[in-house]
Structure 1
Amino acid sequence: MSDSLTDRPDATPRSPSLIVRPVLLEDAQAISELSAQLGYDVSSEAISQRIVQLSSHIGSHAAFVACLKIAGNTEIAGWIEVTLMHELQSCSFALITGLVVSEAHRSLGIGKRLCAEVESWGREQGVTKIRVTSRIAREGAHRFYLREGFERIKTWAVFEKMLS
């Protein structure tokens, strides 16, 4: 087996194939479980509600899952989410707001394939730049993004205020 997976119509039932498609409501449980691998404890019910809410933002938001098919079984091995950002101070861009690949399936080209899907989506939306943020402690993710052609442009401190 090679170190990357692609859509392969000629794949035998035992060899893996990868299909990337838009997120569906029935993907909520798998997305919840994958999110937990990065420390985001969110229920599948909450994910379901968010999928429904975000479905009304077609053209300004998208989410995709990577489905790995092995020996007739299909498993969601990763997901990615992207939104268009419009700011006064800079040109519009696509912002990757989440990317997770299952710990069991990392380093197989799944993250690369998900990023390629976002790049294609971004071009369709008319943007020329994709941005992603990553926690400072996630050095493996930083190496991945640099390998994928992203350039580190700044370091931020993030602040948050809860609204009551």
Structure 2
Amino acid sequence: MIIRLATRRDLAAWADLRAALWPDGSVEEHRAEAEDALNQPDGLVAYVAETPDGVIAGFAEAALRRDYVNGCDSSPVAFVEGLYVRPEHRKADIARRLCAAVADWGRTQGCTELASDAEIHNLESHAFHQAIGFEETERVVYFRMTL
């Protein structure tokens, strides 16, 4: 398995993986967002996990957050914006390796903290984060009101 920066040739597979993680958007919308990320070198960074036979098995996206990041003391903070591995490739250390690539990138950007989040009901993600060295910092419930 090779962990590397995403490129234009990965757009179709990357968009499919994004749609699997975030199903509220269409594959076309995800492809446009991924393409935008490639066109903005100071924005989102993405890593893909590629099998020896060329299958994109997973991805991680990260960004520098300069605003307040829950539980962090520094700025900027490298933030894992999205992480997904195809079900048939899970339990093979791919997500851990993708996060390690993001952490290395964060260090090169001068960050001293890596942060992430997960939905409150996603216990598998909570366990994964803790297993690779993240510590839970707080839980937040968001509210909204129509005006």
Question: Is TM more than 0.5 here?
Answer: yes
Q: How far is the alpha carbon of 1:160 from its aligned partner?
A: 6.7
Q: How far is the alpha carbon of 1:157 from its aligned partner?
A: 1.8
Give 4+ residue runs of structure 1 displaced > 4 Å after superposition.
159-162
Work out the percentage of aligned pairs sharing the same amino acid.
31
The equivalences for 1:1-164 within 5 A come to 18-69=1-52, 73-87=53-67, 90-92=73-75, 93-159=77-143
Contact 1:31 1:44 in 2 (8 A): no
TM-score between the two structures when normalised by the length of structure 1: 0.76
- Judged with a 3 Å threshold, the aligned counterparts in structure 2 of structure 1 residues 48 and 55 are, in CA distance, closer, same or farther, namely same
Partners of 1:101 and 1:129 in 2: CA distance: 23
Residue segments in structure 1 that go unaligned for 5+ positions in a row: 1-17
Contact 1:37 1:103 in 2 (8 A): no
Task: Indicate the larger mover: 60-69 or 102-111.
Answer: 60-69
Superposed CA deviations along residues 75-105 of structure 1, whole A, max 9, x for unmatched, are 0110000000112685211111100011001
Partners of 1:49 and 1:25 in 2: CA distance: 11
Partners of 2:54 and 2:32 in 1: CA distance: 24
TM-score between the two structures when normalised by the length of structure 2: 0.84
Residue segments in structure 2 that go unaligned for 5+ positions in a row: none
Q: Which has the higher helix share?
A: 2
Contact 1:80 1:98 in 2 (8 A): yes
Q: Which amino acid aligns with 1:57?
A: Q
Contact 1:35 1:41 in 2 (8 A): no
Backbone CA RMSD of aligned residues: 2.3
- Judged with a 3 Å threshold, the aligned counterparts in structure 2 of structure 1 residues 107 and 80 are, in CA distance, closer, same or farther, namely same
Q: How far is the alpha carbon of 1:154 from its aligned partner?
A: 0.5
Secondary structure of the 1:97 match is strand
Q: How far is the alpha carbon of 1:50 from its aligned partner?
A: 1.5
Partners of 2:87 and 2:104 in 1: CA distance: 25
Superposed CA deviations along residues 24-52 of structure 1, whole A, max 9, x for unmatched, are 22323222332343352433332332223
Structure of higher CA gyration radius: 1
Q: Which amino acid aligns with 2:92?
A: L
Secondary structure of the 1:51 match is helix
Q: Which amino acid aligns with 1:126?
A: G
